[in-house]
């Protein structure tokens, strides 16, 4: 009886496939290659030989963000003489906080992006990789990030201004509107980037990968990507609630819309967590399942062939049948889902923390 080698593959990746997959991952894993608010400072720093993902880069980026937030805000306050609503000290504190939060978001998100892009290095099939690169160039770029993220930001900002004006009769001061614009720009960029991860993994779930043949779930790059997706939740857990808290502080006192507007933005954060973690983790499980059953298919076919005359098999072939069946069952029972109870519990914890961080100050403001 001819034996089957489960570790054998008729499609070993060529050097061209490996090189192209690595080049794709190298380009895709850097946030400054496609997020507008990071791309422009990064290109400026490179002219002077400074890497944005370095200690000096983070310090300079904080300074750039501070100037972008503080100087226009100060000019707007001076032009409108609205010093009572936003004095220079308060504006400076807000600029420092928002700058630090933006840089913290970059650090967390970039660490996650390095891990998430590990999966891209295991891609196979030159045509599929080229198609992904073409799709990547269309949707993952500073121009698209600025366009889509800016559109989301404008919608949020206009809604915020219109509701305060028409419901409460409060015309938001120019400087407060500027701070709200900074916050909505971040929310817009974050929402668009997270949504694109969903579509990216939906496309990846239809591609072929070179994974660990005895247990695709245990492939190092698969596990690394899974950890990166879960780490993406930290961006929501740490930065989004803090941005929303600043929004609560900045909005005029006495507005009946402070809590509803913050709740709406909080729901947006919940949606971002669901899109950015749950769905991609599900697609990652689909990739593992597809590869696992691709490996099991020839084993199952041979087991089916042997089972036809099982009682008449020679002892040597029967022993081989039992070993093959053990291998089949062992491989079949390997994990293929990344949405474990622990993962879901951590996500729920993220949501509860966001709720607690935003709702508690709102309750204190309303009732105390």
Would you state the torsion angle of the CA atoms of residues 122, 124, 128, 130, taken in this order, to the nearest 10 degrees?
Answer: 80
This prediction has a pTM of 0.83
335-342 long-range contacts, CB within 8 A, separation 24+: 335/217, 335/288, 336/216, 336/217, 336/285, 336/288, 336/289, 336/292, 337/285, 338/226, 338/229, 338/281, 338/282, 338/284, 338/285, 339/278, 339/281, 339/282, 339/285
- Give the model's pLDDT for residue 351: 64
Is the torsion defined by CA of 247, 250, 251, 253 positive or negative? positive
DSSP 163: H
Q: Which residue has the tokens 């889509």?
A: 148
Rounded distance, CA 285 to CA 118, Å? 15
The tens-digit pLDDT sequence of the chain (368 residues) is 555 555 454 467 889 999 999 999 998 899 999 888 999 999 999 999 999 999 999 999 999 999 999 999 999 888 888 888 788 999 999 999 999 999 998 998 899 999 999 999 999 999 999 999 999 888 888 888 888 888 888 888 888 888 777 777 777 788 888 888 888 888 888 888 888 899 999 999 999 999 988 889 999 999 999 999 888 877 777 777 788 788 878 877 766 666 777 777 777 767 777 777 888 999 999 999 998 988 888 888 888 888 777 777 788 888 888 888 888 888 888 888 888 776 666 666 666 665 666 556 555 555 45
């Amino acid at each position: 009886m001819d034996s089957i080698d489960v570790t054998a593959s008729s499609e070993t990746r060529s050097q061209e496939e490996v090189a192209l997959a690595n080049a794709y991952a190298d380009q895709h894993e850097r946030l400054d290659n496609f997020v507008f608010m990071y791309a422009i400072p990064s290109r400026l720093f490179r002219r002077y030989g400074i890497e944005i993902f370095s200690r000096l880069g983070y310090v300079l980026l904080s300074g750039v963000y501070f100037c972008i937030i503080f100087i226009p805000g100060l000019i707007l306050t001076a032009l409108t003489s609205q010093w009572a609503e936003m004095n220079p000290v308060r504006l400076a504190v807000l600029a420092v906080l928002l700058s630090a939060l933006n840089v913290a978001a970059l650090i967390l998100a970039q660490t996650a992006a390095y891990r998430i892009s590990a999966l891209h290095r295991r891609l196979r099939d030159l045509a599929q990789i080229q198609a992904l690169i073409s799709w990547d160039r269309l949707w993952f770029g500073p121009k698209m990030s600025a366009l889509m993220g800016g559109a989301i930001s404008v919608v949020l900002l206009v809604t915020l201004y219109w509701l305060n004006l028409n419901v409460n009769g409060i015309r938001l001061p120019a400087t407060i509107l500027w701070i709200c614009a900074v916050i909505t720009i971040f929310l817009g960029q974050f929402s668009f980037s997270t949504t694109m991860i969903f579509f990216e993994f939906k496309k990846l779930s239809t591609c072929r990968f070179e994974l660990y043949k005895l247990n695709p779930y245990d492939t190092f790059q698969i596990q690394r990507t899974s950890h990166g997706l879960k780490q993406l939740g930290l961006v929501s857990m740490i930065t989004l609630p803090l941005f929303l808290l600043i929004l609560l502080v900045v909005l005029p006192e006495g507005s009946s819309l402070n809590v509803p507007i913050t709740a709406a933005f909080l729901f947006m954060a919940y949606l971002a967590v669901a899109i950015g973690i749950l769905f991609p983790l599900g697609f990652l499980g689909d990739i593992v399942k597809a590869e696992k059953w691709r490996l099991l298919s020839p084993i199952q076919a041979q087991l089916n062939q042997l089972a036809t005359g099982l009682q008449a098999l020679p002892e040597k072939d029967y022993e081989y049948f039992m070993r093959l069946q053990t291998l089949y069952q062992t491989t079949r029972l390997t994990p293929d889902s990344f949405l474990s109870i622990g993962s879901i519990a951590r996500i729920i914890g993220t949501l509860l923390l966001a709720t607690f961080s935003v709702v508690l100050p709102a309750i204190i403001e309303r009732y105390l």
